[in-house]
Chains A and B, each alone.
Chain A
Amino acid sequence: MHTILLSIILFLPLLTGFVVLALPRGNRSLAARAALVGSSINLLLALFLYRGFDFGGADFQFVQRASWIPAIGAQYLVGVDGISIGLVLLTTFLTPIVIYYLSHRLPENGTSLLFTILALETSLLGVLVSTDVLLWYVFWEAMLIPMYFLIAVWGGQYRAYASLKFILYMMVGSLLMLVGILWFYWSYHAAGHPFTFDLSQWINLNADPRTQLPHAVQMWMFFFFFLSFAIKVPLFPFHTWLPDAQAEGPLAFNLLLVEVGAYAFIRFCLPLFPNASLSWAPLIMALAAISVIYGAVMAIVQQDLKRLFAYAGMSHGGFIMLGIFSMTKQGLEGAILYMINSGLTAGALFLIADLLYRRRGTRRISDFGGLAARMPHLYFVFMVVALGAIGLPGLNGFPSEFLVLLGAVRAGFPDPGVAQPIYGYLAGAGVVLSSVYMLWMFQRVMFGKAPDRLKDASDLQPDEKWSLWPFIAVIFFIGVGSAVFTQPMDPAISKTRLIMQGAAEVNHEVGPAPDVRPESPAQ
């Protein structure tokens, strides 16, 4: 059970999807119920996985290994560690909510929609748990297909444009990354190992100063990976697909746009190319700080709720990248927690945007107003989510934002000439801006005079409430008990940081750099 549990979690959604397709056509509510049951069981299994997870282990757990393509050394290899388990929980948490919410509003071709959502869940989970790089790449690419269909079939007015733009952006990165993967694959072989795509073995190559690749080669390989992930996050200036995709994409797309790009940075870039990561870090932190501020400023001026939330997501992506490339313990912990929070916040916000759209037929902020009096339930929920997003202490955003900023101002790359805390301070300004866009939007939607057409807007329906309550519960839970999530991360993060430490010593040959000295836990 222990070894196969992860594979069950991985493939159960897809299997459910096939069941949904096989059910008699036309009975959409039956299909929705089946999908809901399947994805809920998956959530339970993921919780079960979390219960069995060893918080002290730095290595992959629940590992399952099977032969896949021995001809080229690729295996079926899955496992979770502290970095991925939180995101696995997030993904399995979001999917049943999406399905539950949509089950009352299924379009004509609803069974296909359900299948696409479930296929997307499997590919997302595959990206999170694969530890064979080729297998991971297959999931990473395959993930684009359901995402593409979500926009292209169930998207808004300009869905053709948005879906093509989305997929072309993604493919630019992915294809270059394929070169990087093959290059590393061959280099690992050239170092005297058999051909393999096993990530845990690949990590050893550059972690050891005696075998590591030349710095220039690492820089190029890092770039090939970086581009793909930076587009996915998205990091300024690779972000322009995001507002279009988010605004045109349907709710399922909005919710399931989990932060796998940032996850991939921690999973691949840092441990595979530690020396190059250190060299690239100043540039990436600068881009991250720009993303934070640019995203926030753009969010302030948006007229459309979904576009506003999309730019808010970009700003959040900047925070996450800042935390990762601070390479401090707090920064990395905060970044991973931030990925989870960003998924939660975005999920709730887009859900609210969707239910507002269904009432009013528009997403323009200026078409709303005075909803607080008519929709008290929504008022409460929306407020909690918005305050959580801007980092009010006691709600989910605070611990992650605090940890990231703490890590960012403490980041001093092993290059004493550069004053690194500047990016942390810049991002701190982003926190202020985030309050501006969120609260101003909240004020315009919720207060003031209600337009005539909103006079009879009904408050949250039961199914809408039940879709939003879980978000509220988790937002409060993370706000007070973030340690539940950060604790399992520590061993895996320490392992990564150990590699970085070795790289810092090689890069400068001056002993441990100030930023990678062992630190006391933040909590």
Chain B
Amino acid sequence: MRKRLYERWNAFYSRLSLRYVIWCVFTLTAVLGAGLIGASFYSRFSAQLQNVVGKQNRALMEQVNQTLTSELRNIMRISDSIYFSILKHPGGIPAEEGFRILYETNKTAVESIALFDEDGTLLVSAPAAMLEKDVDVREEKWFQAAAGQTENLHFSNPHIQRLFVSSENGYRRVISVSRMVQMADGDEVKDGILLIDMKYGQLETIFKNVSLGEHGYLYLVDHEGTLVYHPDHQLILDGIEKETHVEAAGRRDGVYEEVLDGEKRRITVQTVGYTGWKIVSVIPGGAVQLSTAKNLLFLIALALIFMLLLAVINSYISRKVTIPLEHLESAVKKISEGELEIEMEERGSYEIRRLGDSIKKMTVRIRELLQDIVKEQEIQRKNELNTLQAQINPHFLYNALDIVVWMVENEKPQDAVRALTALARFFRIGLSKGRTIIPVRDELEHVKSYLTIQKMRYKNKFEYRMEAGEEVLEMSTLKLILQPLVENSVAYGMEFQDDGEGEIVLRAYLDGEDLVLQVEDNGPGILPDRLDAIRRGEVLASRRGSGIGVKNVGERVHLTFGGSYGLEIESEPDEGTCITIRQPAKVYSQEEAQ
């Protein structure tokens, strides 16, 4: 499985261009790095934001706490003033007057002030009011909390105050602050309960004026978990909303994370002095986060812009790196196709320049090697030609000398002279100052000298004629290419002819761009099997020779003029043989011959 995956990956990877790989790797690395840095920054920034908001909340809570404490102290001061300045100094200000003055001075915060004896009888109240007829204050919680605990102040939970007769239909919600007091009554000291009803609205104002963001809020809870103030107090009482006030009442001062109805919240608890109440601030989890839908979309847009910029920059870098390599690759491809004369731009980094330079040097070296090889082949070819020519000359010399010997033996000195003159002319042309290319005129002259000798040898058994226009005589051809063919015609075709019946025709003419040289005889022809063997290039020895003459001529034409030129043999038994040489038609020039 792993191997297959690895193979697949390799197959995929091998299809990718270097530029694309560099681009992908760079972009991926940069995006990953940027993502990590972004996430790290986001996390740190969020945490810092949370801290800042937390600090602000605590500062705000501190402020609320101070304001609330100040309000409570004010009530406590009123209570102390009544107790220590009025009730404990019977000779001082009359109680009714003192109560009235204090009420009037603080009536924005105070609903009523009242003094009861230990039996619950109303002694003094401000504003002046009568108790409701069915009310027994001793059953009230604030009364019971204060009774028996001298000088301690007790703060009740908010409740509807129904002690006094009122003509209004509305209801008054108050927080009752009660304490047990001792009053001088003549010589006696009596216990009583002092009640100051603090307006609940005062408390509400303190909390309502505080803003903790869009969804944050503050609430106040007593030590038993009963709500004192909550913006949704009524909804919580009616079960429409939920709150964790009971748990909060049990918490120490500090910051806590909690979940309510699946929503994360951060709550901060702070205790209020004197009362044991706790101020609780609630910040829903989403309120401090940056992850609103629009913020997230904006961040995604920024990330995409960043990615696009990276992609463009990486594309530029990868192109910069790979273009010289692509040029090198293209150059190497051309070199591999045989094109060695290429221009290579010098660009790219140090290593790539070095590589390019090395390839350039390598090309020069290959070129030099190829030239050496061509030279060597040239030399080799010349050597082969020389060897071939060397094979031809002894062969002919032997035959010619054989004729002269025969003439001398038969006392025909005139003929011997003629033969030797022809032989001399033959060799003069054969030498041609070492040139291998000669004019057609010389080659025909050379063959004519040869045929003169052979005609003498074969006692005029054959005739020959030459058909060559003036236009071909100055064309260039290979030296000694007709003589071996004529030699074959004489050797195989003329021996069995009656006197004068043999005929050899030499033709030289132009065929389009080509020069055609032809040797035709009316001899017995060549048997098909032998003809096929000769055409295949096989050297077949016979009693008249080694058979290499015709093959040599063919190879020389091939080597000199290329594969498309050469030699063609047509023969019909008892009809004769015609050998055609085809070569490019070119006017002879001394320089070229050299």
User: Do the two shown chains form a genuine complex with each other?
Assistant: no
User: Which residues of B are interface residues toward A (Cβ below 8 A)?
Assistant: none
User: Which residues of A are interface residues toward B (Cβ below 8 A)?
Assistant: none
